[in-house]
Amino acid sequence: MMKSEGITIKDIAKKLSISTSTVSRALRDLPDVNPHTRVAVHKLAEELNYQPNLVALSLVTKKTKTIGVLIPSFTTYFYSQAISGIQEVAQNNGYHVMVCHSNESYEAEKKNIELLLSSRVDGIIASIARETRDFTHFERLKQKGIPLVLFNRTCDLNFSKVQVNDYEGGYKATEHLIKLGCEKIAHITGPDNLSLSKNRLRGFLDAMNFYKKKIYENLIVYSDFSIASGIACAKELLSKSVQPDGVFVVCDTAAYGAMHVFKKNGFNIPKDVAVIGFTNEPMSEIFEPSLSTISQPINKIGQTAAKLFIEMLEEGASFIPETRILNTELIIRESTGFPTDA
């Protein structure tokens, strides 16, 4: 009996006394193959445990059925969950996923795109590194007709995108602090090159203006999404002449750092300063005190990005870039006054 790894379409063709081209067309379910022949080819291929040569197949079809995924970090909860959503949809549609991470580096991001393209992926699903301010490498993909979908961290250029309603989330978070009675509200925002930072900041400002609350410009500080950055931003806020009684933080991770500083400096959360984050990571529920946050459907973001990508592949050049926006939800916990079970 032949070993499965040695089986080729020539072996199948010989056993069925047909040409290799007929076997190839039958395996690809092309319509010009006799239905009985197609069934016989698939049946024998299964019996022999035939594994197609993906490289050779890609040369014929011009597709590898592989999606390149580029993320800023492997260690962030958001991206591990988003990848799960991408893989679920990809596998259900017969695609493989190849994942790279930029480690928040612009240069690494560019090199990873080159790596994915050299691996002959059919296109790329990406979330932008916090260092990235020049988007030329993404524009080149579009110019070459290579499918690209940005998710979560996007930019203002005309690419297909999947994101949550960051503006609405920022507005709801700020509104919650206002309704608690906070008057001196700070915002720890994200890098100003990213759409999500801009939109969450815009939601913050619009809520403050709608409720006629004074906006303290020096209480708006910029983070890079990390715990260390949250610590630095909180220390900066405490150095101001006006100190906040409420803080909306761009993400849960930076919020953990900020809360650590407030507690270390003797502030009671939420009595002295209420804090709300954005993401709803599992840690936010068990942090002390538990963190109020804006929840986003992370797995669904990944699923939606993969579905949009596959639609782009199927429609080809006729596809018009599209933005899909998912809703957020306010989760109230102890850091803004949610009572404990005790």
**Which pTM value belongs to this model?**
0.78
Whether the upstream peptide bond of residue 270 has omega within 30° of 0, thus cis, is yes
User: What gap in Å lies between CA 219 and CA 234, rounded to an integer?
Assistant: 10
Mean pLDDT to the nearest integer, 47-76: 73
Q: Is the pLDDT of residue 339 over 80?
A: no
Residues with Cβ within 8 Å of residue 241, at least 6 apart in sequence = none
Q: Is the pLDDT of residue 178 over 70?
A: yes
Residue 132, classified by CB atoms within 10 Å of its CB into exposed (0-12), middle (13-18) or buried (19+), is buried
Q: What is the mean pLDDT of the chain?
A: 90
Q: Is the pLDDT of residue 60 over 60?
A: no
User: What gap in Å lies between CA 132 and CA 109, rounded to an integer?
Assistant: 8
- Model confidence over 272-315: pLDDT tens digits? 999 999 999 999 999 999 999 999 999 999 999 999 999 988 88
**Of residues 214 and 38, which shows the higher confidence score?**
214
CA-nearest of 49, 66, 46, 48 to 57 is: 66
pLDDT band at 55 (very low <50, low <70, confident <90, very high): very low
- Model confidence over 94-122: pLDDT tens digits? 899 999 999 999 999 999 999 998 888 99
Mean pLDDT to the nearest integer, 76-83: 93
Q: Is the pLDDT of residue 148 over 70?
A: yes
- Model confidence over 240-272: pLDDT tens digits? 999 999 999 999 999 999 999 999 999 999 999
